[in-house]
Structure formats: C-alpha cells, structure tokens
Structure 1
Amino acid sequence: MSFKIFSLQLTGKIKSVAAIEQKRKQLADDYAEFLKTESSEELKSFLELEKYVNSAEFSSKKKETEGLSFKGSEEEKQLKEFQRLQKSARIKNYFKVAGSSDLLRYEKDKESKKLADFYALEDYVKEGDFEKDKREIKGQIFKGSAEEKHLKEFNRLEKSAAIKAFLELDGSAKLEKHKAFENSEKLKRFTELQTAAESDREKKKEFKNLRKDAEIKEYFRFEKSKKLKLFHEISGSHNLARYNELKASTNEEAFKQKVAYLKDKKKFEKSEAYKKYSEYKKLASDGVVVFVLKYEKSKLYKNYLDVKESFDLKRHNELETLIKSDEYKQKKTWLEDKKRWEKTDDFKKYQDYQNDKKKPEFVKFFKYNKSNDFDFFKNWDLVFEDSFSATKPEDEKWYTTIPAATKSGVKNFAMPGDLSIFTDGANLKTGQKLAIQVKKENKKGMVWQMPAGFVPAEFEYTSGIISTGDKFTLQDGIVEAKIKFDPVKQVASSFYLSAGNNVPRVNLVEMGPNNILGIYTLNGSAKIASEGLEINNLKKGEYIFTLQKSGANFTWKINELEVLQLTNSELNKPLELNASSMVVQPLAGSSAVFEIEWIKCYRKK
C-alpha cells in the first residue's frame, strides 16, 4: 500500500485531469496567441509607445506642459504690454485721428490748388518779398524823381528867352522872309551904297531913300532884335538839343504813364503786390485753408504725426496683430486650460498606451512575457502525438503486433502460461480514444516454447497491443499519456517503453494485479524484478502519466506532480512505445478494457 499516493490525494496535490487539460489547452492557446502577438506590428508599436511614455523625454514634456500657465507667460506679458499701449493717451488720440473724416478731409484739402496758392502767397507775404515790393512801390513818388527833374529841366528850358525865341522864330514865316530878304538885291544894293563915297551924291541920295525903305528898316530892326540874337545863340546849342531831347521824352506815353504812376497816391493798391496780398488775405479766410491750417496745428493732429512713425505704435500694431491671431488665441486658451495636458498628443499617446495595455492580447502577452509559463513550449518540441481519432491505429505510427513478432516476421504469439493471445488489431478500437479490449473468446495461436519454438495453442481470451517499434523511438525526452486508471486484477494493462524486448522496460504505468510506476528488469535468476512506486491507493479515473527520460535517469509524474525518480543505465538507449493488456487470471466477466485517450512525446530543442 502506497501511503505516498494516499497522502498526495488526501492533500489535494494530485490535481484533476480536467483542470490540467483545461490549463494546458489554455496555456497552449495562450502561447499561440503570445507568439502571434509577439510578432505583430501592433505589439511593436505598443512597445515603442511604452518606451516613449516611460521615457525621461515624455516625463519632461508632461511636467513642462502641466507646469505651463498663462500667468507669467510670454503671452501674458505681450497682452499686458498691448493693454498698456492701448490705454496710452498718445495711442488713443492717434486712433481718434487715424481714419477719421477730418483726417480724410485734411489729406484731400492739403493737396488742393487753393492751399498751394495760399502757401505760395504766404511765402511771398511773410518772407519779406511783399514788404520789399510794398516799400519799393510806395517809395516811387514824383517828387524828387528823375521824371520830375526832367520835367523841371524841360520847363526851365522852355521858359528861357532863347528857347522861346527859337520856338517863335524857328520855321516861322518871319524868319524865312528875313532870310529870303537877306539875299535880296535891295539889301545887297543898300549894303553897297552904304560904303559909297560922300562925294557921290546920287548914291548917297539913293542910300538915304533905301534907308527909309520899310523892308530895309524892318530887316535891320529884326536883325538887331534880341530874339534873333537869342535864336542864333541857341541854334545848335546843347541847351536846344537838351530841350528837344526832353521834349521828345516827356511827350512819350511811357513817360506820361510813369509820371501819372508816380503821382498816383493809390498806386500801391493797384499793384501786383497788393493784388497778391489781397488774394492771400482772401485765401486765409477761405474755409478749406482755415480748416487745413487749424487742423494741422491741432494737438490731435500733431500727436498723430508724432505717433504715426513711433516705436510705440509699431509695437502696438504688432501686438494687436499677434493677439488677434488664431495662433495666439489658441496658445492663450491652451495656457489657461487647466486640462491642457489631457489635450496633448502625448496624453493621447498615454491614453492609447493605457487602453492598449488593457487589450486582452497585450495583457496576456505581458502576463507571460517574463514568466516561465511557456518554458515547456520554448524548450520542447512535440515529436510524436496520437489522439486516436482515426478509425484504426495509423500504420505510419503503430505496429499491432508484439515487437518480437514484428522483428521475426511471424504473427502475434504468447509466452507459456499466458491466458490470452494478441490479435493483429482486432481488439483495438479507435475513433475518440484507444481502447484495448480483452475478450473472453477461444482463439488459436502460437506459443513460444524452448527448445521447440513456436507451438500451436488454444487460448480462452484475446487482447491487443500497439507498438511504435522502429517507427518511433525516444532517446531522451518526455512521454505522457492520458490513461483511464481502472485496474482489473485479472488483467495486466501497461503502457511502457522498451528496446524491442518485454524486459527490461520502463512502465509509464501498469495496472491490474500490480499497480505500479517503475522499471522491470531481469534478476540473476532470469526472473522479473520490479523497482518503483505502488499506486494501489490511486483513485479510479483518468490521469495524465508522464515519464521524462534523461539518459539513464527517469522521472515519473501523475497529473504533473512528480512522484518518482529512478536511474537505470541498462535503459539508457532509444526506447519504443508500447501499450497492451494481458490476462493473467480468469476473468469474472467476459471482457475488460484498457483506455488511452492520447499519447504525446517531446524532445528537448
């Protein structure tokens, strides 16, 4: 009686097959999913995202973003600067003018002809030219002028006796008569008689008569006159030439106009200078000119000009453009947003990371990633498997004869004392599991007897066997099978590994008269010696029996719980798989069944 098995079952350390298979299936499914996830682009992207959200860069960005505030920011400084400039009297007054109707009128009127004429006249009036012209015009008077002098000189000459005599006689009939008589025969005779001798009475008498002649008397009277004397004196003189010159010049229209101009007491009011001055005064009171002059002298306009090109206005406009921009508004809103971090791309990445981390495939991946749960899958290859789903044992996997018979080329045979004979697959049932059936039926067969060899015999029972023979052997590795543990005392049902002979062998499990895990060998008396663990106390039911072979070392497990370790150098060789049932005592009934649901073998990678 094995107290060990009893204790293990009592303490619940031997788990149920259903739980193990469910766990194994789940683990296999998880491993397949793990591998799929491991090679997926989604995991690659997730790992990159994980690396980023756990990086110093991400942490720094988060800290920086959460530490942002509008207060104290460059944007707040810009807004405050703008507001200060906006409240500035200079800036406010500038905008009162900029674009106003008065400014538009001023800009238009200052280019008008009226204003241009006004400025030209203002320059004339205020820059001294007007006063100069005024003084010059008013300074032009008749008294003391050249014209007055000329007129006075002319009048003086005209009033002189000589000029009067000349004017009276020049070209006169009297003078012409006088000149004509001067060349007359009468005067010539008178002159001749005048010098005649006193003795010549006739001539003297003639002389006296002629001296009384009216023409002669008139001639000499005129000849001796002061007028004629003055006439002769003035004729060809400078005074006469000057008189004629002055008479000609003073009689010219220009001279007369000049004299009239010099004598005109309102000549200034008639001058071009006065006309310009009057036009200037008129324009100075014109609505356009008055508005322009008043406007450009106004404090508002002067402020407008001062501010127009100022740094403050330029800065104000720059800041206004900036503050009204969508970019600034968005930045300000961003800085004022207490939840700005939640609106960043990085936060979205973090959220994506958190959400992705919860994805079942990723949860499962990271559950197993650093665990050793998949070590078996990673370290072992499945090299043999049969779940017996085919309608009969698959030929490429199994022989249905005992290994010795397979090698000898004969049909199944029995050993002396055996109550059953193996059929060639007739007692094997597959489809969902392997059932090796023991039947109570008469069957002829062969028995191996020394020294006769194979001898015909009658058997009361038939049974079955499967063996991988040379189709599959396990040097080192794991073999396990799901077997129904339901011992029938009269039937030895075994799953074992051997090297072509019945003994020595490794029993994965044997049940019947002996319920044991262990190794059978032949002792010195050629009798079977058993070494292992009795499992008589094992409850009936399905179990997964596992045997791991590593050279000469063997380890057994029941439902993944290690229960036995043995060493046997004789079995340190490739071993084939075998399963069979043998009747060792007459059955109480007509049949017994040895059920194996599946078999799997693994080899270390």
Structure 2
Amino acid sequence: MSSLRLLLGLIPSTLKIEQAEKALIDEFEKLQVFTKSDLLAKYTKLHDLVNSSSFVQKRKEIESLKYKNSEEYSREKEFLSLQKAKDILLYFKTISGSMLKRFRDLDGSQKIRDFEEIESFIKSNTFRQRRKMKPITFKDSDEYRKLLEYKSLRKDPEIKAFLKAPSNLTKSQAILKFEELGIFIKSPGFLAKKNMKPITFKDTEEYKKLLEYNRLKNSLEIKEYYRFKSSKEYANFLNIDGSARLARYNELKEYVATPAFKERKNYLLDTKRFEKTEEYKDAQEYEKLKKNEDIIWYFKVKDSDKFDVLKKKELTFIDDFNSDTLDTNKWLTNFYWGDKLLKDHYSVENDLHAYTEKDNFEIRNSLLKIHTKPQRITGKVWSASSGFKTREFSYTSGLINSGKSFRQMYGVFSAKIKLGNPVARNNFWMLADKITPHIDICRTSNNKVWTDFVADPGRFSKSSIGPRYANDFYIYTLEWTQDKLVWKINGQEIFRQTSDVPQVPMYILLAGGLDKPISGMTTMEVDWVKVFQFR
C-alpha cells in the first residue's frame, strides 16, 4: 500500500507535515512553559487545598453549623429565660420603684428604732401587767395607812389618857408618833390626798406610750415600711439581690449585648455564611480556574500520548540556515579526510565536477542552495588504483559535512530538501571514518530518487521512487536503531534494512554533483537539517 501511495504521489504534503510538526512542537513547548507557570502552580495549590480532607471537613463544618446547636444559642436562651422569670422581673420592678428607696431611707433610722423600742415595751409582760391594773384610790395610798395608824393609836389607852390629861412629863415614843401623825393628817398634802380621784391606767405614763405607739403604728410611713418589709416583693428582692442567679443574668445580658456575640449570631444564622469565607473565595477561584481554557487543555494533553513522538527523542543537531553565511563551526566544505589530511578539495573517479570552497553555495531566505553548474576548473581526483591526480573538470559543485563537529550512532536524521534535477547527483548521506558503511538517505540519479545502504564494498541494497519527488521540498528521514534502518519521505516508509546495521557513529553530508553531463545548472535546496537522539 505504501509503495502504491508513493507511486501515485499520495503522501502527506510537506507543508501540512511541517505545520503539524510545528504546531505539535509549539504546543509541547507551551506545555513545558505552562507546567512551570504561576497559573498552573496556583491551580495546583488550590486543587490540593480544595480537595484536601481538612478543607472538605472545614467546609462541611461551616455549612452544617446551626445557631440552635451553638453555645451562643444556649446562652441567649438562658438569658431570655431569666429575663422573663417572675423573680427577675419583680426584682427589677422593685429596684426601679420608689418603695424600696423609701424603705431603705427608713430602715435603721431613729424613727424606726424609736417605734420598735416602744413596740418592744408595749409587747412586754410589764406593760401587759400594767394595763391590767385596778384603779388606785386613797385607801391604796401610804396616807391612808398612816390615817389608820393614827386612828389605831388614838384608841390606845396611853394615848387616851394623854388626851384627857396632857402632861409636861417626858412623852413616850407612842405619844410622839401619835402627835406626828396628827400633824400629818391635818396637812394640806394629806387632805388633798384624802380627796383624790381614783387613778386608772389612762392616768399612767404607759398609757401615754400606748397612745404614741398607736399613732406611729397607724402612720402611713410606718405602715408602708412594715408592709413592704413583710411583703413577698421584699423577700424576693432579698433572695435575688447579690445572688448567683442575678450575677448570671447580668453576665448573660452583657454577653448578648457584645458585638462579638451579635456578629457570631448573625454568622450562624446566615445560610450563605460559607460564601463569605476565605475558603469560599478559594473554592470559587478553583472552580473558575477549572474552566480556564489553558487549564482544561493542560490536563487534556499532559498525560496523553500526543507528545510521545517528541518525548522519545532529543534534538542533538540543527541548522536552519537562518544566517547569511554557512556556519563553519558546524560544517566543513570539503570531504572530512580531504580537510584533515590533504588540506584540499578532491573528487572521485566518476565525478564530472570539482568541489569548490564557497563558490557553489548560496544562503538566501533561510535556504541553503548547492549549485552544480558548468564551469571549467582544474582539480584533484582520487582513484583507488592510482591515488590523487590532477584533472580538468567541466562542472563545479559544493559539499558540506559535519565530520569535524558532529557524529552520532542511532537516532533520527532528517532534512527538508528540494533535490532538483533527478538526472544530476544531489545527495544527503552519511559516512563514518571509512568508506563503508555508507548510507544515502536520499539522492538523485538516472531520473529517480534513490535510497542506498552500502554495508561494505561488496554488499549494498537500494530502493528508488519516482522523479516527482526531486522537484519539490520533501522531508527525508532515516530512523536508525540498533537493529534496523528505516528510510522515510514525509513520514511514509520507503525502504527498510534489518541486517548489517551500522554500529559506529556517523556524520552527515550534503552535496551536489554529476556523474552524467547535463545542460545548464541544477540546484539542491536545503531548508533545514535536524538530528535527534532516542531518549
């Protein structure tokens, strides 16, 4: 099938191959550059972050947060419960009212101390006994007892005798006592006492204290004081004031009023809270980068076999002839041994041309042109039987080789060449230090394009394709491995050699020439030469 395609010229066009190869190389280079890019580094970092277990866990935690499951909710609920509690409500009602202030103003005051002192007296046994007293009359007095004593003495015989016959004799104690009592019962004080009204409880100081007690007790101020003091409200106040319960209420009230609590509550109530986190920004940026054309392209091609053809080989030699002159660091313009030993140019016996140093080379528009043209010239010729001798030539041409700068064993040896006149002998070939092995990657002769392999002077093989392949640019390639040689044109196999495969480094040559006369000039044009080594 390949032979039929070659015969019919049905091979891929050189332009399309180069365009495809350039596109592939450009894309591969883009891949290599992109592999080290900040964009990919950022994507990789975000990819690792967003897909990490810690990130996934944190996102899950953030999105699963519920206010009702939070400590903030529990503390606010506790605060609201305390805020509505009857004892707390009553406490704050008490401290905000005026009654507690009035109570505190009276509590411990002299007025209360006086009242409680009177009350203590009123409730004492002494007072209760005093209140039960019978009315006090003259008969209950000392004056009455003295009157009775006086009357008793008056009945005394001694006293009676004295009264009948008073005497200046010394008076007895009884008479003296009688006379004393007589004077007393006639005194105004006694007479006033004898005529006294009965004395009752209402005439006592205790009664006055009772009246004062009742007055104080019934005063609005005292009544309010003791009513409040005995009230449930005051009892609640005493129970709550300074308590741990009130302290907890105040602590929670202060807590729920803090900006931190409000911010946390709003955060927990926000169903879109994850969207406000740095993690969300990272996730969004990651999703955006996932849709980036370069990122999509990178992951599509990075592990594909698309670039295997490039990865499997490494460029070791290239000349695309972009300068105005031939690069003499790469090329000799002579046979290798002619330059090394003879220090002059020479041809071989069948050549109709002599090689020149530079007259037959032209570089223009990134093309190396090797002209073979009619020209009378004297030059050397090599004969295996007679050695070097001088001869007249009717044509001149040019030859370049990399024998001094570059040699390689195995690899891919390739050049884009327009061979020119198929009758001429234009050649892209390879040599080692000896005459053989000799490999013609492509050459023209006898109106054909040939591929040749000479293992030694007695053994050679070759193949040919039509002259059409000499009249335009084609990419000629030799793929050389340890066990085979494969010749290709524009990727299409021409010939294969699996025996006597060379095992020595070889260098490349490009040359024009003739082994048959032609009219006019012929030119071989070379766009580029590339050599790759297998990785």
2:20 alignment partner in structure 1? 20
Report the Cα distance in structure 2 between the residues aligned to 1:320 and 1:418, rounded to whole angstroms.
Answer: 112
Task: Find the partner of 1:108 among 101, 106, 118.
Answer: 101
- Structure 1 residues 6-155: aligned runs within 5 Å: 6=6, 10=10, 12=12, 16-37=16-37, 43-44=40-41, 46-69=43-66, 90=86, 93-94=89-90, 97=93, 99-100=95-96, 102=97, 105-113=98-106, 116-127=109-120, 129-135=122-128, 137=130, 143=136, 148-149=141-142, 152-153=145-146
Name the CA distance, whole Å, in 1 between partners of 2:238 and 2:329.
108
Deviation at 1:150, TM superposition (A): 6.8
Shift of residue 156, structure 1, vs aligned partner: 2.8
Say which is worse superposed, 148-157 or 492-501, in terms of deviation: 148-157
**Counterpart position of 1:508:** 441
Q: CA 1:292 to 1:142, structure 2 compared with 1: closer, same or farther past 3 Å? A: closer
Contact kept in structure 2, 1:415 and 1:447, CA below 8 Å = yes
CA contact under 8 A between 2:11 and 2:490: conserved in structure 1? no
* Preserved CA contact (<8 Å) 2:83 2:89: no
Task: Tell me, yes or no, if the aligned pair for 2:14 and 2:473 is still in contact at 8 Å.
Answer: no
2:483 is equivalent to residue 548 of structure 1: no
Q: Distance in 1 between matches of 2:464 and 2:423?
A: 20
Query: What root-mean-square deviation, in Å, do the aligned CA atoms of Structure 1 and Structure 2 show?
Result: 4.8
2-structure distance, mates of 1:157, 1:23 = 161
Q: Judge conservation of contact 1:552–1:572 (CA < 8 Å) in 2.
A: no
- Give the distance between the partners of 2:166 and 2:178, measured in 1 at CA: 20
Give the TM-score, by structure 2 length.
0.78
1:425 corresponds to 2:421: no
Q: 2:46 & 2:451 partners in 1: Cα distance? A: 53
Corresponding residue for 2:497?
Answer: 566
Which stretch of structure 1 is more off in the superposition, 398-407 or 21-30?
21-30
- Counterpart in the other structure of 1:455: 389
C-alpha separation between the residues in 2 aligned to 1:360 and 1:5? Answer: 39
Partner of 1:595: 525
1:291-337, CA deviations, whole angstroms, 9 ceiling, x for partnerless residues? 44444556655555666678887776666555555455445544544
Q: TM-score, normalised by structure 1?
A: 0.70
Q: Which residue is 2:272 aligned to?
A: 339
Amino acid at match of 1:97: K
Q: 1:112 to 1:74 in 2, by over 3 A?
A: closer
Q: Which amino acid letter does the alignment assign opposite residue 433 of structure 1?
A: L
Q: Secondary structure at the match of 1:396?
A: coil
Paired with 1:224 and 1:302, the residues of 2 have a C-alpha distance of 81
Task: Tell me the equivalent position of 2:346.
Answer: 413
* Whole-angstrom CA distance in 2 between matches of 1:246 and 1:443: 203
Looking at structure 1, the residues matched to 486 and 183 of structure 2 have their Cα atoms a distance apart, in angstroms, of: 168
Distance change (3 Å), C-alpha of 1:401 and 1:349: same
Structure 2 counterpart SS, 1:6: helix
1:371-450 superposed matches below 5 A: 371-375=304-308, 378-430=311-363, 432-449=366-383
Amino acid at match of 1:387: D
Q: Deviations over 1:29-85 (max 9, x none)?
A: 214314423xx6x65554343234334444444455545555777766766666666
Please tell me the residue identity of whatever aligns with 2:382.
W
Task: Verify the 8 A CA contact 1:66 1:340 in the aligned structure 2.
Answer: yes
- CA deviation after TM superposition for structure 1 residue 228, in Å: 3.5
Contact 2:63 2:273 in 1 (8 A): yes
Aligned length: 528
* Alignment deviations for residues 455-474 of structure 1 (CA, whole Å, 9 cap, x no partner): 22222221111111132110
Q: Please, which of 284, 287, 290 is the counterpart of residue 357 of structure 1?
A: 290
Matching residue's letter, 1:423? T
How far is the alpha carbon of 1:429 from its aligned partner? 2.4
Unaligned runs of 5+ in 2: none
Aligned mates of 2:391, 2:88 — CA distance in 1? 130
Cα gap change, 1:407/1:229 in structure 2, threshold over 3 Å: closer, same or farther?
A: same
Q: Offset at 1:375?
A: 4.4
Q: Is the 8 A contact 2:401 2:508 kept in 1?
A: yes
Distance 1:407 1:567 in 2: 33
Q: What is the match of residue 233 of structure 1?
A: 172
Letter in 2 for 1:47: T
Cα–Cα, structure 1 residues 334 and 571, in superposed 2: closer, same or farther, change >3 Å?
same
> Kindly tell me: are residues 426 and 275 of structure 1, through their superposed partners in 2, closer, same or farther at Cα, counting changes over 3 Å?
farther
* Equivalent residues of 2:24, 2:307 under 8 A apart: no
Partner of 1:583: 514
Preserved CA contact (<8 Å) 1:397 1:468: yes
> Which of residues 460, 465, 470 in structure 2 aligns to 1:529?
460
Q: Which runs of 5+ in 1 are unaligned?
A: 167-222
Q: 6-15 vs 18-27, which deviates more?
A: 6-15
1:258-307 CA-to-partner distances (Å, cap 9, x unmatched) read: x99x9884786663x55655554444455544444444556655555666
Which of the numbers 366, 384, 405 marks the counterpart of 1:471? 405
What is residue 186 of structure 1 aligned with on the other side? none
Q: Equivalences for 1:200-349 in 2 at 5 Å? A: 226-228=165-167, 231-234=170-173, 265=199, 271=205, 277-296=210-229, 323-349=256-282
Cα distance change on mapping 1:456 and 1:75 into 2, 3 Å: same
The superposition leaves residues 513-532 of structure 1 with CA deviations (integer Å, 9 ceiling, x where unpaired) of: 331344244553xxx83324
Q: CA separation of 1:274/1:233 partners in 2, compared to 1, >3 Å: closer, same or farther?
A: closer
User: Which protein is bigger by CA-based radius of gyration?
Assistant: 1
CA distance in 2, matches of 1:98, 1:116: 21
Aligned mate of 2:427, from 494, 497, 515: 494
Stretch of structure 1 that moved more, 540-549 or 594-603: 540-549
Partner of residue 369 from structure 1, selected from 269, 280, 302: 302
Q: Which shows bigger deviation, 295-304 or 391-400?
A: 295-304
CA shift in 2, pair 1:307/1:559, >3 Å: farther
- Cα contact 2:347–2:353 (8 A) shared by 1: yes
Structure 1 residue matching 2:448: 3-state secondary structure: coil
The one-letter amino acid of 1:592's match is T
- CA–CA distance in 1 between the matches of 2:47 and 2:182? 125
